[in-house]
Structure 1
Amino acid sequence: MSKTRSSDASVEQRRREILDHVIEAGEVRIDDLAARFRVSLMTMHRDLDDLAERRLLRKLRGKVEAYPALTMETASRFTLHQGEREALAGAAIRQVEPGQTVFVDDSTTLFPLVERLSGVEGLTVVTNSLQAARLLGEGVEIVVAGGRYHPEYDSCSGPDVLALLERTRADIAFVSVSAVAVGRLFHPVRDYAELKKAVLRFANRNVLVIDHAKFGRTATYAHGTVADYDLLITSDATPTEEIEAALNAGTAVEMVEHVEEGQPYDS
């Protein structure tokens, strides 16, 4: 393992430990964190900025706090498989053409894709995610679908979001999901399940982007099947039966190479 790769892995490990400590404590002073982890205040701010950008905690004046709904289990789902998600984003961005209207939902799996959208000329991006809107750079027209705000997701849902979607037409929509089981898609929150279902009606092409860890799981609310989508982008670590279910349903499948945790992905 190269020095750079090892260094990247150790930084990510420290950030996970910082996150675990903040979740356990609820609220921690930033200078106390720097002392606890034996790093400079500047390094600690860099770590916290990274975690805040991933919606894992909130930075306040001189302190940091975890989102009330965030547990260690859910936090691990945000931080794991980042290399794989970068690979998925590299495949997804090739589906986008200059001048298109693109929808992206609030799934953290899509954030690496969102960061790449700024490199495509003349895009209009529609999203219900405030974090996605922040990640987009200059040159992109941003339409935020506002509605009932959920701070734990930093995004909006509900009838106001659905009403905006009904008045909009996207060339392509990118959606990720919380769980997939034999082709059926699930989300733990009803409003978000309804939103993902509604997106299908307002986009010319619908693309699912899912890391391998989401397969073989269920959640409370079903919101359709893989067959509803034109393309599934996932990794070669996804169970074979799930790939076969998608292909048998008539959905095209593109697989990227699975990237082990801690290994950077070169797009």
Structure 2
Amino acid sequence: MSSTQRMADERHRYVLEQLQQYGSCKVSELARQLGVSEMTIHRDLAHLARLNLLRKVHGGAVLRNYIEQTFQDRAVQNHEAKVAIARRALELVRPGSSLYLAPGSTAHELALVLDQQGLQVYTNSLPTATALARSNQAGVSVTLLGGQVVGFVEALVGPSTEAALSDLKLTCAFIAVTGVSLEGGLTIYTEEEARVIRGVMRAARKTVLLTDASKYDLVVGPQVGRLEDVHIVISDSMPESYRRHCQAHDVEVLLCGDPDGGLESGASDRRNQA
């Protein structure tokens, strides 16, 4: 075996290890970590995609069965970041609010720490509704939105879910997506899920995006909306280009571990008015 082929095999092995650990990977990060050009990484991903070992997406790759990842599998990925994001999100919750919690492991972590009185929580997530029902928080009322069950997400979607949302007036919606891109917008697994989140955003006075850093520069599935369509982004970290974009569009950014992690523009006013 030539040294060139041996180096390629080592890169391929590293890429697959990253996918097994995190579920997705980005071209820019792989190029930096492996010390090669992004063009080399694109060729590596194309080769592995031809072998049906991964699926290429805009800006990177995901596991071949990424769309069918179970809730339990996703819950353990980047778990520390998700817990930190949830605790930062809790700072936005006020007693007496009406909230929406999206399907997904990060919003689920928020459900586990909700402790304010007089909350009305709406969700189409089976695990989140179950966790809230078991929490014995007397001041939290939980409504599970009806619809058709999507097994791998453990969520409810469809016309019934969308119809229920059309009658709601939410104080705040905490949403989650599978990809965040400046060019491709906010994307999620299926069009059915995207329609539900669009309905949530119309029903909410304030929309908060919960996302860990692994989601940036990925486009996975249909578009929910643009990054500038949300009021606040809560994340463990954020690329500088995204921070500039948020600042230009009056979107507040709250980063875990940074008590002053918001932007100084009119975003803070927008947050308080919501």
Normalising by structure 2, what TM-score? Answer: 0.65
Structure 2: distance between partners of 1:234 and 1:158: 29
Shift, 1:207, TM fit: 0.6
Contact 2:95–2:119 (8 Å) recurs in 1: yes
1:109 aligns with 2:110: no
Tell me what 2:128 maps to.
132
Alignment of 1:192-231 (within 5 A): 192-231=193-232
Aligned residues: 190
Identity %, equivalent residues: 23
**Structure with bigger RCO (C-alpha 8 Å, 6+ apart):** 1
Shift, 1:100, TM fit: 1.0
Structure 2: distance between partners of 1:120 and 1:255: 22
Q: Equivalent residue of 1:170, what SS?
A: coil
Structure 2: distance between partners of 1:206 and 1:215: 18
Tell me what 1:89 maps to.
86
What 5-or-longer segments of structure 1 have no aligned partner? 1-19, 21-66, 259-267
1:144-188, Cα deviation, whole Å (9 max, x unpaired): 101011121111001100100011111111001100111610112
Structure 1 pair 75/141, CA: closer, same or farther in 2 (3 Å)?
closer
Among candidates 118, 121, 133, match of residue 117 of structure 2: 121
1:187-231, Cα deviation, whole Å (9 max, x unpaired): 121100111111111111111111000001001201111211111
Contact 2:74–2:105 (8 Å) recurs in 1: no
What 5-or-longer segments of structure 2 have no aligned partner? 1-19, 21-64, 259-274
1:80 aligns with 2:77: yes
Tell me what 1:248 maps to.
248
Q: Equivalent residue of 2:219, what SS?
A: coil
Tell me what 2:158 maps to.
158
Structure 2: distance between partners of 1:79 and 1:228: 29
Contact 2:82–2:105 (8 Å) recurs in 1: no
Q: Match for 1:203: what amino acid?
A: A
Q: Match for 1:146: what amino acid?
A: G
C-alpha RMSD of the superposition: 2.3
Structure 2: distance between partners of 1:213 and 1:192: 20
Normalising by structure 1, what TM-score? Answer: 0.66
Structure 2: distance between partners of 1:247 and 1:235: 17
Structure 2: distance between partners of 1:198 and 1:78: 25
Structure 2: distance between partners of 1:95 and 1:156: 26
Tell me what 1:7 maps to.
none
